[in-house]
Structure formats: structure tokens, C-alpha cells
Amino acid sequence: MAKVEVYTKFLCPYCSRARSLLLAKGVEIEEIDISLGGPKRAEMLARSNGRSTVPQVFIDGKHIGGSDDLAALDRAGGLDPLLGL
């Protein structure tokens, strides 16, 4: 199974949407809360080439993007292979 990391913020509806999609596929996610900023937010900005919106999703270290990007990847049939499903 792929390693899935998701940078999130408290009460973010887009984060909830991405989390729901991944959990529906039976994927274990490492959720990294950046609600208070700090070093984890800086880490997300560096890894996502400056994208500051949440969620930011990474699968096996590869930047997928946000909630819309994740959903589009799933619709195109590209998500399951990345997840190893």
C-alpha cells in the first residue's frame, strides 16, 4: 500500500472531501494538521512548490495537489494505480 500524506486544516471542507475519498478506498492516511502554521506549513509549501491551499496530497512522496486534483485523478482512473489498488 502506498504512503499517503495529506496536509490539512481544522474544519476545512475540501480536506474532508479528500479524506473521505481516500478512506472510502481503504487507504491509511497520515494527516498533517497545519492549522497553526509553523514548520509543518513551511514544509508543505516547500514540497508543493508554494501551493498554500489545503489539502495538499502526496502519494509515495509524489505531489498530487488539492482536493479537486485528487478527484480528477480518480475520475481519470489514475488514483488506484498510485495507491496500489
Domain ranges of the chain: 4-83
pTM to 2 decimals?
A: 0.95
DSSP H or E segment with residue 31 = strand 29-33
**13-67 pLDDT tens trace:** 999 999 999 999 999 999 999 999 999 999 999 999 999 999 999 999 999 999 9
Q: How far apart are CA 75 and CA 47, in angstroms?
A: 24
Q: Are 10 and 35 in contact (CB under 8 A)?
A: yes
**32-46 pLDDT tens trace:** 999 999 999 999 999
CATH code for 4-83? 3.40.30.10
